[in-house]
Amino acid sequence: MKKLLGKSLTIVAVLLAAVSFLPPAATAKAETIKIGAILAVTGPASFLGGPEARTLEMLVEEVNAKGGIDGNKVELIIKDSGASPEKAISFAKQLIEEEKVFAIIGPSTSGETMKIKNIAEEGKTILLSCAAAQVIVNPVAKYVFKTPQKDSDAVRKIYGAMKDKGISKIAVLAGNTGFGKAGKGQLTEIAPEYGIEIVEAEVYDSKATDLSAVVSKLMANKAIEAVVNWSIVPAQGILAKNMRQAGWEVPLYQSHGFGNIKYVKAGGAAAEGIIFPAGRLLAPELLEDGHPQKALLIEYTKAYESKYNEPVSTFGGHAYDAFKILSAAISKAGPDPEKARDAIENLKNFPGTGGIFSFSPEDHNGLDIDAFAMWTVKDGQFVPYKQ
Amino acid sequence: MAALQYVTWQLPMTSELFLQYIFAGLTYGIIYAIVAIGFNIIYNTTGIINFAQGEFVMLGGMIAISLNPLMPLPLAIVLAVLITMMVGALIEIVFIRWLDKPSVLRLIIITIGISILIREAALHIWGEGIRSLPYFIGNEVSSVSILGTRISPQVLWVMGVCTVMVILLSLFFRYTLMGQKMQACAANRTAATLCGINTRNMVTLSFMLSAGIGALAGCVMSPITYTQYDGGTGLAIKGFTVAIMGGLGNSMGAVAAGLLLGLLEAFSVSVLPLAFQDAISISILLVILFVRPHGLFGRRDTAALKEF
Amino acid sequence: MKRFLPLLALLALVISIQLLTQWTGTTYYLTQLTMSGYYAVVIIGLCLLMGYAGQISLGHAGFFAIGGYMSAMLTTRNLISFQNQDWVVLLDKFGLLAARQDLYGEAILAFQPWLAALIAIVLAGTIALIIGIPVLKLKGHYLAMATLGFGIIVYRVFLASEIFGEADGISGVPGFPLLPGVIVTGSFGARVGNYYIAWTLVIVAMVMLINLINSRVGRALRAIHGAEEAANAMGIDTARYKLKTFVLSAVLAAVAGVFLTHYNGGIGPSEAGVMKSVRYVALVAVGGMANLWGALIMGVTLNFLSLRGFFGSYDDAVFGAILIVIMLFAPEGLLRLNLAAKLKKLFSGGSRK
């Protein structure tokens, strides 16, 4: 037994010593800009982190092929958090202290972002989150920004459309992810402004494979005039199917998380007529010529779809915006993090996939309600929604 | 508990709603039962719980979806089931067969490792997106009317196929020589060996069989539930729970426990928030387990066998 | 006293690693070493339960999470809007509340971290005691399922409860002042100190467990593991010993949960998930089951690599592969492998050809 302990200690010693002797991460060459990314490439939020990581890889490749940002080559370090906050925390510290990155893009989920908000702030490192929840930028932290549109604006857009239709009693469904949680909060808070009453509210598991029981329950409540579903998970399609199969014909509104043609395909005939707010990435060719977003949307769509052979999603777009905003700031202010931060804060009328960004010291999101348009599904395609 | 403040009694419910819950519960329940039977088949011949059982369901669906564009749907499903059976056999041959008197816990950890590996491999092969087979009849909005409630025809497919599987399996174990040999293995491995049964082959066969039924279930449920690389884990957990509740090794017990869990989940929606669904249904199962420590239909003496 | 020599060696190692990182300017390694130290406390506690008492628990992440979440909730729940109510005034008068300002200037009045930690740990222990009585009557797979079920319930309750932040979990958890000047916090300046706090906890836990294993209790546990009926017949109150071990390992998990949550500044539902529990069990198994040192080494090494993102997107896959390989080829754990002898055999066999 004693021998065993001795041996085990030798092993610990060797292992830990080996680790300690690893050379510190190679020091960056003067002209290389290191950008860290903490994304949920695997795990329960991989449908966010996957497209985000692929978008960033593509953009960095593109930029470096052109000689970098104003001649500064970009080095991208993607850390896969698997949507675990504890990993995101560890990675954030690693990227800031060890890799000394210029900025961090991500995380993909709001739970992770909230855990590292203070770390980025303490480490004085720019954080461009790809998560939606408004708490990320409220209260404003000096170094923390986010690119997805405000969920409160999405809610206002939906409630506006409902009001036009004369709908006042609704049911709210949300997935049990950070996105669903934030949306449910905003829906509840803003409802009175539009004279809307939430009659029933339910939260389902993000891995739910069937929602027919809860649909039956809601359907039995005859007061309900419309359903709002707030999630980013496959259950968006399942809900639509279960509602239509049960023969429940009230209008179904979804969040901007529905902006992925894959979900429409998965929903098939049941996706027809779903109404939801989203940016303009869904059908850029329908924009009028000369719209500031049109060219970049078409370019991103083409580049991404030809490279990865899968449709673009608004999630990848969030990472696209984060990278483009950062590059714009760097080319404006040079490779100095403090100046780049100030440059982001002063960026105005900057077109991205999510909308036209105008940041200010009070607004670290930079998007307003005009970032959204209302969409619906017709013949398996996204088309602009008209009353 | 925080949940209590949400309690709103809405009973009595209409008969229509009642039926809808019944159908929803039976659909979940029969799927859990099939996964649990997969656990039981392997448990009976080896005494281990194969935690990769859920991955068989996922693999069946994924392979059928990949094959479907190349061939008619029935053929794709048959091929997917066969391929998954091969995977099952391969797992047994590579990881289990040559171990000499392995402890149960060792085997369990190995199957957990295998389940993680299959899941990660699926992520890198098929990506993180969701996929599904087309509806066998009709499409996403079609439904049939039964006793005044409307349900998707695919639900009937799931219930039908799973029920047929359960019946065929019990006939197989009762009336075929192969089935009886496998049962002999379960009852007493040494004695079975002495009677000239190749118990090792029986173990391989049990892996193939449980992979096959898992894959078939994965195919019929795919249009309803979608198929995603990590869909197996949740099913394995529920299936394991159900297998234990029914009394390990008891397939009819698994069916009963599966339907019970499904109905509990469906009806819990009517009184409690959906967010607490799993917490509620599993609490009830645990209480039952405390009262009957060998499962609903298990016998005390068999529960004491095959410990870690 | 001899059995504590390795502990002294461990202490020396802990100190020399710190000095080494200081010397090479790589103190950032201490961040992940601190985090994996806390996870190691959960793992050695589970090792006592599984390896020595022979009781599997697939719900240990639940106890970790109860500790972490309760402490996080009590120290972040802002009572400032209730500050004029009697109960808040009363709590404040007894010095049970602490006022502070968060990073964004908002005034926060919440429970003292000491009190919060105490409540969290006592709660975890009590829950372990209550569920331990019926659960530990079960055996084998039935025990595994019951503990798994418990883990799922805990996970679901945290994930569904607004007070625990639902999917986002809780963030903005303040530091935990253990003693004046000794604060459990993740802030960059406090890294070295926190490394020592974590490893002091590891060493204290190890001392306690090694003592326990070599005492009457340890012998009783081994008797239970070997043959419960026989142990019972010999007059060992097996149920009582099993329950005590279960509660002790749950409390260790909860303590680790409290500390790591304050160190990280937050906690999320992933800490309570079933996969986390499975991971703990697997780490005990690859450490060699009844082998505290093995569990400690495997736990620290694998968690350290995982937290550094060493395997990138293949983290889970590598973990699965390690489980399989060790269980196939070294079921007694890596440390029991007589590697030197095997290599020798391999080489001498090779040279003969």
Note the pLDDT tens digit of each residue in C206-256.
Answer: 999 999 999 988 888 888 887 777 887 777 788 899 999 999 999 999 999
**Percent above pLDDT 90 for chain B:** 46
Above 0.90 for ipTM, yes or no? yes
User: Which residues of chain C make contact with B308, given a CB cutoff of 8 A?
Assistant: 54, 56, 140
pLDDT at C351: 41
Who among C6, C166, C335 is closest to A181 (CB)?
C166
State both tokens at B25: 């519960």
Q: In 3-state terms, what secondary structure has residue A128?
A: strand
CB-based contact, A7 to chain C, within 8 Å: yes
- What is the DSSP secondary-structure string of A26-75? PPPPTTEEEEEEEE--SSTTHHHHHHHHHHHHHHHHHHHHTTSBTTBEEE
Residues of chain A positioned with their CB less than 8 A from the CB of B231:
207, 209
Judged against a pLDDT cut of 50, whether residue A20 lies above it is answered with no
CB atoms under 10 Å from CB of C256, counted, come to 27
Closest partner residue to A115 (CB to CB) among C3, C167, C171 is C171
CB contact under 8 A, A9 and C2: no
- Touching A: which chains, 3+ CB pairs < 8 A? B, C
- Write down the pLDDT at residue C106: 85
CB contact under 8 A, B17 and A220: yes
| Binary contact (A86, C260; C-beta < 8 A) | yes
Q: Give the C-alpha distances (Å, rounded to integers) separating C157 from A158, A225, C162, C264, C337.
A: 31, 31, 10, 22, 42
Residues 25-64 of B with CB under 8 A from A: 25, 27-28
Q: Is the pLDDT of residue A21 over 50?
A: no
Residue C237: count of CB within 10 angstroms of its CB? 12
Greatest CA separation for chain C = 87
The correct CATH number of A152-278 out of 3.40.1050.10, 3.40.50.10420, 3.30.565.10, 3.40.50.2300 is 3.40.50.2300
Answer whether C268 sits within 8 Å of A84, measured CB to CB.
yes
pLDDT above 60 (res C306): yes
| Residue scoring higher pLDDT (C210 or C344) | C210
Residue B224: which of B152, B160, B159, B278 has the closest Cα? B152
Picking from C33, C172, C293, the nearest residue to A5 by CB comes out as C293
Between residues B38 and B295, the one the model is more confident about: B38
Secondary structure (DSSP) of C309-348: TTTGGGHHHHHHHHHHHHHHH-TT-GGGS-HHHHHHHHHH
Q: Note the helical H segments in chain B.
A: 15-46, 53-67, 73-91, 104-126, 153-175, 177-187, 189-194, 199-225, 231-245, 251-271, 277-291, 300-304
Q: Does C327 touch chain B (CB under 8 A)?
A: yes
Q: Which chains touch C (3 or more CB pairs under 8 A)?
A: A, B
| Chain A residues close to C168, C-beta within 8 Å | 110-111, 114, 133, 178, 181-182
Q: Does B188 touch chain C (CB under 8 A)?
A: no
* Domain ranges for chain A: 32-149+295-371, 152-278
A354 against B305, higher pLDDT: A354
CATH annotation of A32-149+295-371: 3.40.50.2300
**Which position has the higher pLDDT, B198 or A364?**
A364
Of C31, C269, C304, Cβ closest to residue A93: C31
Who contacts A210 (Cβ-Cβ below 8 Å, separation ≥6)?
Answer: A238, A242, B24, B27, B28, B224, B225
Q: How many residues does chain B have?
A: 308
Q: Does A152-278 match A32-149+295-371 at the fold level?
A: yes
pLDDT band at C343; cut points 50, 70, 90: low
How many domains is chain B partitioned into structurally?
A: 1
Helix and strand tally (H, E) in chain A? Answer: 12, 14
pLDDT digits 0-9 by tens, A332-355: 998 899 999 999 999 999 999 999
Give percent of chain A above pLDDT 70. Answer: 92
The widest CA-to-CA distance across chain A, in whole angstroms, is 80
Residue C41: how many CB atoms within 10 A of its CB?
A: 26
Amino acid at A338: E
Best CA proximity match to A374, nearest among A254, A194, A249? A254
Q: Mutual orientation of helices A314-333 and A337-345 as an angle, nearest 10°?
A: 120
Given B139, B151, B234, which is nearest A268 (Cβ)? B139
Antiparallel, parallel or unpaired: β A275-278 and A373-378: antiparallel
Element (H, E) at B144: strand B144-146
Greatest alpha-carbon span in chain B: 63
What integer is the mean pLDDT of A30-41? 89
Task: Compute the count of residue pairs across chains A and B with CB atoms less than 8 Å apart.
Answer: 112
- B 139-158 residues with CB below 8 A of A? 139-143, 149-152
CA nearest A40 in C: which residue? C313
Give me the residues of C, 239-258, that contact A with CB < 8 A: none
Chain centroid to Cα A303, Å, comes to 20
Q: Does B249 touch chain C (CB under 8 A)?
A: no
Query: Cβ separation of A212 and B151 shorter than 8 Å?
Result: yes
* Number of other CB atoms surrounding residue B24 within 10 Å: 28
Within 44-103 of B, beta carbons closer than 8 Å to C belong to 49, 95, 99, 102-103
Q: Do A203 and B278 touch (CB under 8 A)?
A: no
User: Residue A379, by phi and psi: left (phi above 0), alpha (psi -120 to 50) or beta?
Assistant: left
Residue B12: pLDDT band by 50, 70, 90 thresholds? low
Give the pLDDT of residue A288: 87
pLDDT at B90 over 50: yes
φ and ψ of A279, to 5 deg = -70, -170
Cα(C283)–Cα(A177) distance, integer angstroms:
29
Q: Taking a contact as any Cβ pair under 8 Å apart, which residues of chain A between 59 and 78 contact chain C?
A: 78
Which of A104-118, B293-307, C1-15 has the lowest average pLDDT? B293-307
Residue C231 has what pLDDT? 81
Q: How far is A359 from chain B (nearest CA, A)?
A: 33
Average per-residue pLDDT for chain A: 89
Write out chain A residues lying below 8 Å of B226, CB-based: 209, 234, 237-238, 266
Mean pLDDT of A346-366: 94
In whole angstroms, give the CA distance from residue C59 to residue C65.
Answer: 10
Q: What is the pLDDT of residue B304?
A: 44
Chains with at least 3 CB pairs less than 8 angstroms from chain B: A, C
* Interchain proximity A118–C28, CB inside 8 Å: no
Q: Which DSSP symbol is given to A149?
A: P
Q: Domain of B212? A: 15-132+145-231
Residues 6 or more apart whose Cβ sits within 8 Å of residue C325: none
Q: Within a domain: residue B45?
A: yes
Q: Supply the angle between the helices C292-307 and A2-21 in degrees, to the nearest 10.
A: 10
Q: What pLDDT does B197 receive?
A: 82
Tell me if B87 is assigned to some domain: yes
Average pLDDT, chain B: 86
- How many interchain CB pairs under 8 A, A with C? 164
> CB-based contacts of B114: which residues, under 8 Å, 6+ apart?
B51, B52, B55, B91, B95, C320, C324
Q: Is the pLDDT of residue C2 over 90?
A: no
Reported as a single tens digit per residue, the pLDDT across A133-189 is 899 998 899 999 999 999 999 999 999 999 999 999 999 999 999 999 999 999 999
Q: Is the pLDDT of residue A307 over 90?
A: yes
Q: Summarize pLDDT for C77-126 with one digit per residue, the tens.
A: 998 888 888 888 888 888 888 888 888 888 899 999 999 999 999 999 99
Which of A90-94, A217-221, B7-11, C260-264 shows the lowest mean pLDDT across its residues? B7-11
Distance CA B111, CA C231 (A): 32
State the pLDDT confidence band at A24, using cuts at 50, 70 and 90: very low
Residue range B13-36: average pLDDT? 89
Residues 6+ apart with CB under 8 A from B162: B30, B31, B33, B34, B217, B220
In the numeric block, the tokens 């937290």 are attached to C307
Distance CA A91, CA A75 (A): 16
Residue percentage of chain B with pLDDT more than 70: 93
What pLDDT, on the 0 to 100 scale, is given for residue A1? 47
| Residue closest to C34 by CA, chosen among C191, C172, C255, C207 | C191
pLDDT value of position A141? 94
B126 domain-assigned:
yes
**What pLDDT does C197 receive?**
97
> Interior CA angle at C7 toward C277 and C276, to 5°?
10
How many pairs of residues across B and C have Cβ atoms under 8 Å apart? 127
Residue A217: is it exposed, middle or buried by C-beta count within 10 angstroms (0-12/13-18/19+)?
buried
Least confident stretch, A322-326, B71-75, B226-230, C223-227: C223-227
CA A236 – CA B226 distance, rounded (Å): 11
Query: Which of the two residues, C54 and A93, has the higher pLDDT score?
Result: A93
A50 touches chain B (CB under 8 A): yes
Kindly state whether residue B218 falls inside one of the protein's structural domains. Answer: yes
Q: Let me know: does A346 contact A340? Beta carbons within 8 Å.
A: no
Is 50 exceeded by the pLDDT of residue A32?
A: yes
Q: Does B42 fall in a domain? A: yes
CA B208 to chain centre: 14
| pLDDT for the residue numbered C342 | 57
| Burial class of B13 by CB neighbour count within 10 A (0 to 12, 13 to 18, 19+) | middle
